C-alpha cells in the first residue's frame, strides 16, 4: 500500500521481532498456572475425558478458550506448561503479523521491527496471570483479520471478496474467545478515511460479516450437536450479574496505563510514538492513522465495557501501543543515523539503549531467576514458586496439596473440589464429574439458588470418595462477597450438612482440608 513496503531491511525487521519473542518470552515456558489458566485447562481436560463443556461442566467463558486449552493438551500433553508453550507459538505468529501489517501500510523497516520488539517488551513485562488469557487470544485474532482486510483492499472482484470473507472469519474466531473484540470489526470501514488511497465498498462489509457469521454459526452448530447450546445460553444469562460488578467504575487514565504499568519506561516510549502517530495524519498518511486509531480505540473499548480494570482486559490495546513503541524507536534510530553518519554506530547505540530499556522491566529479573534455577537443576515446582502470588492464590501451596492428595487417592477415586482452585482436578488427573468445577457460581452475591438442587442431587447420587474444601480464596471483586469458600459453607446449609453427615477430615494444610467419605 506504499512504496516503503518494498524497501530493503525488512528481513532484519522480522528477525528482530522474532528474536524478541524467542528471547524475552523464553522464561514463560516456566510460568505456572494462574487461577484462570487452571480453571480452563481443567475444563478442557474434562472435555478430553468425555464431559461436554457447559452441559456436563459449568463454564462461563465462550467456547474458544476451552478449545485453545484443549489444543495445547493435544499438542504438548497433560502438563501445566502446555498452555504456555502454545501461547508462545501464537504470540510469535502474532508478532510477525504486526510487522507485516506495518510493512503493508508503508512504514519503515526500523519502525516495523521496533514495533515487533515493543510488542514483546510490553507483553512479557506482564505477569503469568496476564499471559495465555482469553482477552489476549481474542486480541491476536485481529492481526490476521486486519492482514486479510489489507489484502482485500489491494484487490478487486472475487479475490477481494474472498479476503474479506476470510478476514471476517478470523474476527469470528476472536468473538468466540471474547464478545467485546467484535468492535474491532470497525476496521473494515478504515478506507472511508483514507483520502482516496483505498476505496471502501459496501460489499466488503457484507462479505466480512458473512465470514464472521459462518464461524460463529459453526460454533453454534457444534454446541447444538453436543446438547450444549441451551446450558451455554443459560450460563451466559446467569453471569450478567457478574458483568455488573464494577459498572460504576470510571478511571480513564487507569485504563490507559494498567497494561503497561509493570514497566513505566514503556509509557514514555509509547507517549513519544503517540505524538509521532498524530503527526502522520498531518503528513497525509490517513489510512495508517485511522487503522491504528480504530485498532486502539476498539481495544480500549473491549476492556472498558468489562468495567473491572484488570490489566489483561486491555490486551486488545497492545498492538496499537506496540505501533507507537515502534514509531518512537524508529524515529530515534533514524535521528541517530543522521547525527552520527554511520548506520552501524547508530545501531550499536540503539542496541545498548534497548538493552537498558529491557533491563528496567520485570523481564530481566524473571529471566535471571529462571536461569539460576536451571543451573541448579531445580524442579518445575521451584520455578513456579519464584513468581509473586496474590493473597488469595498460591501455586506452591496448591501443588503441595495436590501431592498430598495423591497419597490418599487410589485410581478411580471420585473427587469434588469446593473452592476456587479448579486446577486440583487437573493435577489429580480426575475430571470434575459433578458439573461445577469451582465454588464461584454458588458464592456470588447474585446466586438465586438455581444450581443448588442440581449440585446436591449429583453429590447424593454418587457421593465422591474425597472432597477438598479450600480456605483463603476470597475474591470479593469477582463474587461480591468477603467469605472464602470454606467460610461460605456456613451460608450453604445443604452442602455443609451433607459434608458433616458423610465425611471426615483426613488431612489439612493452611489453605485446604481433605475430607474422606465415611
pTM of the predicted model as reported, rounded to 2 decimal places: 0.96
Using only C-alpha atoms, the chain has a radius of gyration, in whole angstroms, of 25
Return all residues near 492 (Cβ < 8 A) that are at least 6 apart.
442, 452
What Å distances lie between residue 268 and 273, 325, 336, CA to CA?
A: 9, 9, 19
* Each residue's pLDDT tens digit, 158-204: 999 999 999 999 999 999 999 999 999 999 999 999 887 899 999 99
Indicate the angle between helix axes 10-19 and 82-104, nearest 10 degrees: 160
Which CATH architecture is the domain 395-517 placed in? 3-Layer(aba) Sandwich (3.40)
CB burial readout 459-469, b (16+ within 10 A) else e: beeebbbbbbb
469 with 513: CB under 8 angstroms?
Answer: yes
Q: For residue 100, give the nearest of 202, 196, 45, 18 by alpha carbon.
A: 18
Residue 188, pLDDT score:
98
Ramachandran angles phi, psi of 509, nearest 5°: -125, -175
Residue 253, pLDDT score:
82
Return all residues near 85 (Cβ < 8 A) that are at least 6 apart.
29, 72, 75, 76
Residue 255, pLDDT score:
86
Q: For residue 445, give the nearest of 238, 243, 241, 233 by alpha carbon.
A: 241
Residues of the chain with pLDDT under 50: 3-4, 247
* Each residue's pLDDT tens digit, 323-357: 999 999 999 999 999 999 988 999 899 999 999 99
Ramachandran angles phi, psi of 444, nearest 5°: -65, 150
DSSP β-bridge partners for residue 503: 517
The number of angstroms, rounded, from the C-alpha of 332 to the middle of its chain's C-alpha atoms is 31
383 with 286: CB under 8 angstroms?
Answer: no
Cell of 452: 443448588
Residue 3, pLDDT score:
47
Enumerate the CATH 3.40.50 domain ranges in the chain, comma separated.
395-517
Amino acid at each position: 500500500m506504499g512504496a516503503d513496503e518494498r524497501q530493503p531491511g525488512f528481513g532484519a525487521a522480522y528477525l528482530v521481532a522474532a528474536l524478541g519473542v524467542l528471547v524475552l518470552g523464553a522464561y514463560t515456558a516456566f510460568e505456572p498456572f494462574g487461577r484462570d489458566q487452571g480453571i480452563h485447562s481443567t475444563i478442557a481436560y474434562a472435555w478430553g475425558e468425555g464431559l461436554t463443556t457447559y452441559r456436563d461442566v459449568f463454564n462461563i467463558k465462550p467456547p474458544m478458550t476451552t478449545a485453545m486449552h484443549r489444543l495445547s493438551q493435544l499438542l504438548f500433553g497433560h502438563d501445566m506448561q502446555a498452555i504456555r508453550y502454545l501461547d508462545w507459538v501464537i504470540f510469535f505468529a502474532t508478532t510477525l503479523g504486526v510487522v507485516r501489517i506495518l510493512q503493508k501500510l508503508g512504514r519503515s523497516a526500523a519502525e516495523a521491527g521496533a514495533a515487533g520488539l515493543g510488542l514483546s517488551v510490553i507483553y512479557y513485562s506482564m505477569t503469568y496471570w496476564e499471559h495465555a488469557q482469553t482477552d489476549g487470544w481474542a486480541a491476536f485474532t485481529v492481526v490476521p483479520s486486519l492482514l486479510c482486510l489489507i489484502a482485500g483492499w489491494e484487490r478487486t472482484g472475487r479475490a477481494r471478496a474472498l479476503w474479506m470473507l476470510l478476514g471476517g472469519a478470523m474476527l469470528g474466531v476472536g468473538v468466540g474467545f471474547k464478545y467485546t473484540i467484535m468492535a474491532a470489526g470497525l476496521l473494515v470501514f478504515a478506507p472511508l478515511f483514507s483520502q482516496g488511497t483505498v476505496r471502501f465498498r459496501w460489499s466488503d462489509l457484507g462479505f466480512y460479516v458473512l465470514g464472521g457469521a459462518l464461524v460463529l454459526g459453526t460454533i453454534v452448530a457444534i454446541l447444538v450437536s453436543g446438547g450444549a447450546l441451551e446450558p451455554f445460553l443459560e450460563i451466559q444469562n446467569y453471569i450478567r450479574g457478574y458483568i455488573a460488578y464494577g459498572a460504576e467504575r470510571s478511571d480513564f487514565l487507569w485504563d490507559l496505563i494498567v497494561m503497561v504499568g509493570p514497566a513505566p519506561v514503556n509509557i514514555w516510549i509509547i507517549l513519544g510514538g503517540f505524538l509521532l502517530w498524530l503527526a502522520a495524519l498531518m503528513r497525509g498518511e490517513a489510512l495508517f492513522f485511522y487503522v491504528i486509531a480504530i485498532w486502539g480505540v476498539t481495544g480500549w473499548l473491549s476492556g472498558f465495557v468489562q468495567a473491572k480494570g484488570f490489566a489483561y482486559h486491555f490486551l486488545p490495546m497492545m498492538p496499537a501501543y506496540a505501533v507507537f513503541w515502534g514509531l518512537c524507536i524508529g524515529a530515534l534510530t533514524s535521528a541517530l543515523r543522521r547525527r552520527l553518519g554511520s548506520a552501524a554506530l547508530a545501531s550499536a547505540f540503539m542496541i545498548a539503549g534497548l538493552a537498558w530499556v529491557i533491563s528496567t522491566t520485570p523481564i530481566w529479573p524473571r529471566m535471571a531467576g529462571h536461569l539460576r534455577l536451571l543451573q541448579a537443576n531445580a524442579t518445575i515446582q521451584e520455578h513456579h514458586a519464584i513468581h509473586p502470588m496474590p493473597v488469595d492464590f498460591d501455586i506452591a501451596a496448591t501443588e503441595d496439596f495436590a501431592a498430598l492428595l495423591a497419597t490418599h487417592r487410589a485410581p478411580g477415586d471420585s473427587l469434588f473440589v469446593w473452592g476456587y482452585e479448579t486446577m486440583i482436578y487437573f493435577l489429580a488427573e480426575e475430571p470434575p464429574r459433578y458439573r461445577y468445577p469451582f465454588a464461584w457460581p454458588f458464592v456470588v452475591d447474585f446466586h438465586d439458588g438455581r444450581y443448588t438442587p442440581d449440585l446436591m442431587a449429583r453429590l447424593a447420587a454418587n457421593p465422591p470418595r474425597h472432597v477438598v474444601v479450600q480456605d483463603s480464596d476470597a475474591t470479593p471483586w469477582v463474587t461480591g462477597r468477603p467469605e472464602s469458600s470454606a467460610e461460605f459453607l456456613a451460608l450453604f446449609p445443604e452442602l455443609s450438612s451433607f459434608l458433616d453427615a458423610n465425611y471426615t477430615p483426613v488431612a489439612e494444610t493452611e489453605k485446604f482440608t481433605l475430607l474422606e467419605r465415611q
